Amino acid sequence: EDFDNITKLSVPTDNIWVPDILINEFVDVGKSPSIPYVYVGHHGEVQNYKPLQVMTACSLDIYNFPFDVQNCSL
């Protein structure tokens, strides 16, 4: 009511501390776009969305192809 029902603000990431938490061995940083904003909620939560391109490999058993089922867990 005091703030026109605004519940979230976008803040440039350069203005606040943002932890650098990534599993670098699987992330292709050069192909992951940077997002210049984080979102700060009215209760203090900070949402930091980072689209990442993750590279992984799975070994496949194709002996029964095309009548097989393959699972690749991350």
Q: Is the pTM above the cut of 0.85?
A: no
pLDDT in tens, 4-20: 888 999 999 889 887 76
Predicted confidence at residue 39, as pLDDT, reads 92
Predicted confidence at residue 24, as pLDDT, reads 57
pLDDT in tens, 18-74: 776 655 555 565 666 777 888 999 888 988 877 766 667 788 888 888 888 888 776
Contacts 24+ apart (CB under 8 A), 43-49: 46/16, 47/8, 48/13, 48/18
Counted domains in the chain: 1
Predicted confidence at residue 56, as pLDDT, reads 73
Place of tokens 């776009």: 33
Domain that holds residue 43: 1-74
